[in-house]
Amino acid sequence: MIQTQKSKLGGFLTSLNGWLYIWLLGTPILLLASILTSNADSAYLAFGVQLPWLILTMVLGSLWTLRASSYTPHR
């Protein structure tokens, strides 16, 4: 019982790490995109750049969470 709780917590922490890595990789890209689009129609372009990235982040994070939750160490 306690072992199951511990492995669930480990999977949760692993999924949090996955989200963190994705956001850390994505933040410079978003910053660069907003800098590049600041002299054009910035609201439209920033939304057009950030919305697909947000969707991609959600998909990647969900896949990472699924991979982390399906991982069970065999002892």
- According to the model, what pLDDT value does residue 48 have? 65
The predicted-structure confidence for 52-75, as pLDDT tens digits, reads as follows 777 777 787 777 777 766 666 655
pTM: 0.33
* CA dihedral sign, ordered 47, 29, 67, 13: negative
Other Cβ atoms less than 10 A from the Cβ of 26: the count is: 16
Q: What confidence tens digit (pLDDT) does each residue in 17-39 have?
A: 777 777 777 777 777 776 676 65
* Interval 32-52 mean pLDDT: 65
